[in-house]
Amino acid sequence: MKMSKMFVQTLREFPADAEVISHKLLVRAGFIKKLSSGIYNYLPLMWRVLKKIENIIREEMDAAGAQELSMPFVQPQELWEESGRWEIYGKELMRMKDRHDRGMCLGPTHEEIITAIARDGLKSYKQLPVNLYQIQLKFRDEIRPRFGLLRGREFIMKDAYSFHAKQECLDKEYENMAQAYTKIFDRCGLATKVVQSDSGAIGGNVSHEYMVVIDTDAGENDVFFCEKCDYAANSERATSKLAEAQTDGAQVSSFSKAEIIDTPNTKSIEELSEFLKVPSAVILKTLVYIADKKSVLVLIRGDKAVEETKLKNALNVKELRIAVAAEIEELMVQKGFNADKGFIGPVGMQGVWMVADESVKDLKNFVVGCNQKDKHLVGANFGGNLTVGVKEFDKFVDVRLVEKGEFCPQCGEPLNVCQGIEVGNIFQLGTKYSKPMKAVFTDVDGKEKPYIMGCYGIGVTRTAQAAVEKFHDENGIIWPTSIAPYHVIIVPVNIQDELQMKTATEIYEKLIAQGIEAVLDDRDDRLGSKLKDADLIGFPYKIIIGKDSKVLEIKNRKTNETIYKKTELVVQYIKEQLNSQL
Amino acid sequence: MKMSKMFVQTLREFPADAEVISHKLLVRAGFIKKLSSGIYNYLPLMWRVLKKIENIIREEMDAAGAQELSMPFVQPQELWEESGRWEIYGKELMRMKDRHDRGMCLGPTHEEIITAIARDGLKSYKQLPVNLYQIQLKFRDEIRPRFGLLRGREFIMKDAYSFHAKQECLDKEYENMAQAYTKIFDRCGLATKVVQSDSGAIGGNVSHEYMVVIDTDAGENDVFFCEKCDYAANSERATSKLAEAQTDGAQVSSFSKAEIIDTPNTKSIEELSEFLKVPSAVILKTLVYIADKKSVLVLIRGDKAVEETKLKNALNVKELRIAVAAEIEELMVQKGFNADKGFIGPVGMQGVWMVADESVKDLKNFVVGCNQKDKHLVGANFGGNLTVGVKEFDKFVDVRLVEKGEFCPQCGEPLNVCQGIEVGNIFQLGTKYSKPMKAVFTDVDGKEKPYIMGCYGIGVTRTAQAAVEKFHDENGIIWPTSIAPYHVIIVPVNIQDELQMKTATEIYEKLIAQGIEAVLDDRDDRLGSKLKDADLIGFPYKIIIGKDSKVLEIKNRKTNETIYKKTELVVQYIKEQLNSQL
């Protein structure tokens, strides 16, 4: 491709509406162009990157025994009603009516469709297992699309679905996919961390995410990981041992006697801790949430925070949010108390849904709100002066946001934290879709059973942007060679110079003849400006052709090294370099 | 791929809702599966076919200098308002609102998007010409989807758009694309007829369609073509010389004197012709249409029919339909007449929009309705006793549906007719989009001008089905080798026989090692049933392995030939066969 013919325009400035560096770079270097909020055109350079990622995925999925098909983007309401998701999927599901007034939606994911395909085709255990995948558009009507392709509305995804007669068979395929995923991301030049994750709207129990660890703050959530063992989980799923439990020490306050004392104007844990001169870790914090329209009191240690996804899962509810002041007040009135927000607690509380995080389990003689204005109970203990009387309280739950320095739940070493961009995920769906959709096969015992299913996603557009977030410098993108839009750019210093252009053209044609993806920068522009564009776009190699046509300068974008090669050895050198990287 | 693992299920019966053979075969052979009206899953076999067609298109488009990108499927209302098509595009445009109540639609075509991309990137004549293409989903909410993928709602299309500073440059690229298209369809094994066509909703003046000529009746419209010269046009565009004009003879009736005579109960041309004992060719037929809500009288020779697309174009209106009885009655009352449908005509008609097809030009002494009940004027002549007084009537228009046997407008030979499936089209758009969307470049003279544009489509899913409509027999599909899902199937007669399976597996592995796409039918089934499936699916070659492991039977699906080859020569033979076809 000649640069003068290439449909690309690099911008002088970063776009005003981009927040993260990868988004800024992709726009400025002419890879993507916004059409509408969260909807992007993939310009020719980007499309080459995406095709390369797709091809790597396709090769590895095929090698792993999966079969490619393609399912529609526009889907009928009926199928989504069968799975029950038409009801529960929120506004992210883009719904519409066709000209005959039939309900349709744009696929945010394809479990319903693939399950409907399978139930017509897979009637016997003999046909199982099967793993089917596609590389397709998806649409999710995000409330606040951001970060370019990282949280877009329309995006490209590889989604695979496997069908099994037995759980052990799913376990095996899950492992098979896990290995394929590691290969895929490795080939894309992206080392990934495999972390335990929450299954979210997709459903199922076991799930893992593939995260590209980044140094910038474009990650969507924190990943907690153990430096010693293989434990890693995103914050929505992470768990830990607390320091105290670790050392078998209970968290004991200095209040040895239970009594209600005045604590005027102590509306926050900080104020209370300061007023009483006790650490916040001996205070039991009580938060009020509204879960599926019901109030729920959540007890947690004063120095810890609630992780709402974990809480939502623990409560097994569809909607969850913190209560507003008026709702708390109403609850107090109902229960016959008159305390404000800072003074509520489990003391004397009857007939209210209440859960306690494990962090409060080892508290002794602690401080807790007693539902009286400007007063707290100190020296409190479970089983003693706390009246709870609700079943949920008996079993402690884990709803705590893990913090760096807490201890690995597997091996007890301190946990570390990093930011990650999720590029893939694998789920064990079990019978979540096959059961309601009556997608059954006849098993070896002659009985009809729902398939046991797994699903496996890779964000194709996301992977491309994650690579940019991971690999860039102040001059632009540094594409991993395997997914770079082109391998080499040839830059003659002066295109008016016949000899330079002749040498450049010869090198260009020889590279192309060798199957190397080369670009010839034949624009009549200053060298500096051409090199700037080359660095911004991120060609792995630049060949610069100046007055000396016998020896050429080769620059490596990644290492920033410059070497000089005899002209006749340049093609061979580039070829060897690429072979070692592809 | 082993047949036992392949996700495919052939059906015993044709689907009840399929009308044309290609649709029936694709469903029955397990290539596609309906999700909703006009929306299909492309199962693994079909996806392989579609990928092959896509690759052929991609290679030829790239070779022709076009650059691939990818534009969104979900598009914002604003852009469609800029071009004016939000208003005029009918219900085929699938519209919806996003969660923030912004109007969106699903792309039925991408002129708006590409024009918006171009106007930001192509500022100077120096950057032109550019040809950009994508291979993408499209959605058109057809009122009556039918014929499987031939008239579906969601489908895959290659659409290319070129941008030029000058008309001559567009002409050149139009020819370049025409050549690329011929190559593409040839490589897909499909000879195409290039026909002049109507530009329809896309707009523009010059346009051609690429038609696969078929023997069945799955075509959407007739193609008229000359056996002698290169003239070919679809019925919406075709024109001809009439026999009489050809021989320079006017169409003269035996009524030499103009008079109004009684013609009771002659409501149709047939009845009138019989009653008066004159050929229908000397009767002038008057039809009433409603065009953009206005009445229009269309005069045409009694033995000819109106082609409504041609009429719509000639009138330059957006909506056109034949008037209903009440509307005709209302018109008559307005104009002070009391004639019924069979007796209306231009005689004495004032202040009405009226056009005359060229077929009436040479009529002399003809018969025509005179707006009196049960009466006609005979011996009528233009310029004589016909009062018309409307400007449109002065210029004759060509709105006639051409018939086989009429004469080629280019060379005068009789026209022939065939049925065709449109698989591609090319359009000269001119400034239809660039002008309203203010998509301009600075020309060499320093002035801002709108791009002159062309657009070029190929129906990918349509091409696949057209191949099946063209190539099949009573046993199933006969894929052209270049787009067949696999090249060869190896069928051991008895999979329990160790030697047969060993030979089969060896051949299978050798073929794969040679890059040949082979399937091993390892199912424990009767030979007849396996061969039936192989024929239905349409593998170009079958290798049958029976008791004699030294000599194998090879069947060619297309020619139905059977040959026998020594086992060690089979792979080489297949390789040579394929090389000559790919």
pLDDT of residue A469: 96
Cα–Cα distance, A574 to A572 (Å, whole number): 6
Cα–Cα distance, A148 to A233 (Å, whole number): 25
**Chain B positions in Cβ-Cβ contact with residue A7 (cut-off 8 Å):** 67, 69, 121, 130, 132
Cα–Cα distance, B349 to A566 (Å, whole number): 89
pLDDT of residue B203: 54
Report residue A308 as tokens. 């709402």
pLDDT of residue A204: 58
Task: Name the more confident of B98 and B198.
Answer: B98
Cα–Cα distance, B371 to B389 (Å, whole number): 16
**Closest by Cβ to B74, choosing from A44, A67, A139:** A139
Of the CA atoms within 13 Å of residue B186, those in its CB half-sphere come to 8
Local structure of B390: helix, strand or coil: coil
The complex's ipTM works out to 0.89
CB atoms within 10 A of CB B26: 27
pLDDT tens per residue, range B455-507: 999 999 999 999 999 999 999 999 999 999 999 999 999 999 999 999 999 99
Cα–Cα distance, A74 to A104 (Å, whole number): 7
Residue of A nearest to B155 (CA): A72
Cα–Cα distance, A277 to A2 (Å, whole number): 73
**DSSP string for A92-140:** TS-EEE-TT--EEEE-S--HHHHHHHHHHH--BGGG--EEEEEEEEEE-
Report residue A93 as tokens. 């599901």
Helices (H), B317-388: 325-334
Q: Are A204 and A427 in contact (CB under 8 A)?
A: yes
Is the pLDDT at B389 greater than 60, yes or no? no
Report residue A326 as tokens. 């008026």
Q: What is the layout of strands, in order, in the sheet containing B95-97?
A: B74-76, B103-106, B95-97
Q: How far is A373 from chain B (nearest CA, A)?
A: 43
Residue where the block lists tokens 């787009």: B483
Q: Which helix (H) or strand (E) holds A169?
A: helix A167-187
Neighbouring residues of B175: CB distance < 8 A, sequence distance ≥ 6? none
What pairs with residue B456 in β-bridges?
B160, B426
**Chain A positions in Cβ-Cβ contact with residue B96 (cut-off 8 Å):** 94-96
Contact B143 A5 (CB under 8 A): no
**Chain B positions in Cβ-Cβ contact with residue A72 (cut-off 8 Å):** 35-36, 39-41, 154
**Chain B positions in Cβ-Cβ contact with residue A69 (cut-off 8 Å):** 7, 41-44, 46-47
**Closest by Cβ to A130, choosing from B7, B74, B153:** B7
**Chain A positions in Cβ-Cβ contact with residue B36 (cut-off 8 Å):** 72, 74-76, 102, 104
Residue where the block lists tokens 């419209």: B221
Report the b/e string of A444-483 with b at 16+ CB within 10 A. Answer: eeeeebbbbbbbbbbbbbbbbbbbbbbbbeeebbbbbbbb
pLDDT of residue B251: 67
Residue where the block lists tokens 């389990």: A361
Q: Kind of pairing, strands A518-520 and A488-492?
A: parallel
Average pLDDT, chain B: 92
pLDDT of residue B216: 81
Q: What percent of chain B has pLDDT over 90?
A: 76
pLDDT of residue B244: 55
**Chain B positions in Cβ-Cβ contact with residue A61 (cut-off 8 Å):** none
**Closest by Cβ to B68, choosing from A9, A44, A113:** A44
pLDDT of residue A200: 60
pLDDT of residue A387: 47
pLDDT tens per residue, range B159-195: 999 999 999 999 999 999 999 999 999 999 999 999 9
CA A485 from centre of chain:
25
Q: Are A377 and A328 in contact (CB under 8 A)?
A: no
Report residue B376 as tokens. 């006609």
Is the pLDDT at B362 greater than 90, yes or no? no
User: Which one, of B217, B206, B222, lies nearest residue B305 by Cα?
Assistant: B222
pLDDT of residue B387: 47
| CA separation, residue B372 to residues A159, A485, B341, B445, B577 (Å) | 71, 76, 10, 64, 74
DSSP type of residue B360:
G
Cα–Cα distance, A65 to A55 (Å, whole number): 15
| CA separation, residue B79 to residues A9, A117, B115, B134 (Å) | 22, 37, 10, 19
**DSSP string for B392-411:** HHHS-B--BPP-TTSB-TTT
- Supply angle C-alpha A230, A59, B571, rounded to 5: 135
Residue of B nearest to A104 (CA): B36
pLDDT of residue A416: 93
**Closest by Cβ to B70, choosing from A42, A75, A96:** A42
Cα–Cα distance, A135 to A458 (Å, whole number): 9
Local structure of A392: helix, strand or coil: helix
What pairs with residue A420 in β-bridges?
A213, A221
- Supply angle C-alpha A325, A309, A228, rounded to 5: 130
Q: Is the peptide bond before B129 cis (omega within 30 degrees of 0)?
A: yes
DSSP type of residue B361:
T
Cα–Cα distance, A311 to A316 (Å, whole number): 8
User: Which one, of A24, A29, A27, lies nearest residue A489 by Cα?
Assistant: A29
Q: Kind of pairing, strands A67-68 and A74-76?
A: unpaired
**Model confidence, pTM:** 0.89
Query: Letter for the amino acid at A204?
Result: G
Residue where the block lists tokens 């409603």: B290
**Chain A positions in Cβ-Cβ contact with residue B73 (cut-off 8 Å):** 73, 137, 139, 154
Q: Is the peptide bond before A279 cis (omega within 30 degrees of 0)?
A: no
Local structure of B124: helix, strand or coil: strand
CB atoms within 10 A of CB B125: 18
pLDDT of residue A390: 40
Residue of A nearest to B72 (CA): A41
- Cβ-based burial of A230 (10 A; exposed 0-12, middle 13-18, buried ≥19): exposed
| CA separation, residue A238 to residues A140, A316, A573 (Å) | 26, 17, 48
**Closest by Cβ to B69, choosing from A41, A95, A104:** A41
Cα–Cα distance, B466 to B483 (Å, whole number): 12
Report residue B90 as tokens. 């009918």
Residue where the block lists tokens 């995006």: A155
Cα–Cα distance, B49 to B156 (Å, whole number): 13
Neighbouring residues of B166: CB distance < 8 A, sequence distance ≥ 6? B452
DSSP type of residue B446:
S
Q: How far is B6 from chain A (nearest CA, A)?
A: 8
pLDDT tens per residue, range B566-581: 999 999 999 999 999 8
Query: Letter for the amino acid at A363?
Result: L
Residues of chain A with pLDDT under 50: 245-249, 387-392
Q: What does the H/E/C string look like for A32-61?
A: EEEEECCEEEECHHHHHHHHHHHHHHHHHH
User: Which one, of A398, A358, A438, lies nearest residue A83 by Cα?
Assistant: A438
pLDDT tens per residue, range B281-319: 899 999 999 999 999 999 999 999 999 999 998 898 888
